[in-house]
Structure 1
Amino acid sequence: MNLIKIRLPMMGIVSILHRISGVLMFVSIPLLVYLFHLSVTGEPEFERTLVLLQNPFMKLLLLLLAWSVFHHLFAGIRYLLIDIDIGINKPQARMSAYIALFAGFLMAVIVLVMLL
């Protein structure tokens, strides 16, 4: 059995990405709490927060976090619909997986445009 030739269906890819996005959001909580705390401490700290957010690495991190939030949202809605027996047929499940993947990507691109 050649494990390299096994193709995961789109529904499986969206499921794995849903889990990864959940982990990314959880791991980012300390950073977001720190940035929020820094921004509300005082005016100099707020300015420092703005400078931190202009860093290209931080923008990339925020873009990844935005993708995580939106993908998790759309995939979560997809799973809620599946729980009430909407979209459980294979063609519908495949289409909803593509829609969730595309919607998360599209919203991340919109955030990217807003960050630039």
Structure 2
Amino acid sequence: MSRSTATRQRPLSPHLSIYRPTITMTMSIVHRITGGALYFGTLLVAWWLIAAASSERQFEIANAVFGSWFGRIILFGYTWTLFHHMMGGIRHLIWDTGAGLEKETASKIAWATLVCSIVLTVLVWIAGYAARGF
């Protein structure tokens, strides 16, 4: 007779300390984090719009915050977050069609997600500063 399952040694579920992080795993985790961060960034955009609609003084305060070095870092991060999450969504859309699921192709697409999000962020900020005459 076999031992009952209560006394038998059961296998442990693997966890992050067992797996070596891969680019697809990392980009999946970052995609989830950027999705959460977009909530915070969208609150900042809403604050700016509400300030613009309420009074000139409130709008000046919001512009002063976003125009400071710290505010620009936050806006740069929000821009990258937005593009990275968008590129991650496109990556998942490609996978939903059944394409790009091979290990090497999935890794290349994950790297492309990271590179494209950085390039698009830098291009948008260059265009923004060029439009302002800086």
Q: TM-score, normalised by structure 1?
A: 0.85
1:72-104 deviation digits (Å, cap 9, x = unpaired): 001101101101101111111111111111001
1:13 corresponds to: 26
Tell me the CA shift for residue 6 of structure 1.
Answer: 5.1
User: Which 5+ residue runs of structure 2 have no aligned equivalent?
Assistant: 1-16
* Mapped partners of 2:20, 2:121: distance in 1: 26
2:72 is aligned with 1:59 = yes
More helix by share: 1
1:97 corresponds to: 110
Letter in 1 for 2:81: S
2:52 is aligned with 1:43 = no
Tell me the CA shift for residue 31 of structure 1.
Answer: 2.3
Q: Highest CA radius of gyration, 1 or 2?
A: 2
1:7-30 deviation digits (Å, cap 9, x = unpaired): 311111111110110010012332
Show structure 1 runs of 4+ deviating over 4 A: none
Aligned counterpart for 1:82 among listed residues 78, 89, 95: 95
SS of match in other structure, 2:20: coil
* Mapped partners of 1:111, 1:60: distance in 2: 14
Letter in 2 for 1:33: A
* Mapped partners of 1:13, 1:43: distance in 2: 44
1:39-67 deviation digits (Å, cap 9, x = unpaired): 12233433333322211111000111111
User: Which 5+ residue runs of structure 1 have no aligned equivalent?
Assistant: none
Q: TM-score, normalised by structure 2?
A: 0.75
Identity among equivalent pairs (%): 26
Larger relative contact order (Cα-Cα within 8 Å, sequence gap ≥ 6): 1
Letter in 1 for 2:30: L
* Mapped partners of 1:51, 1:26: distance in 2: 22
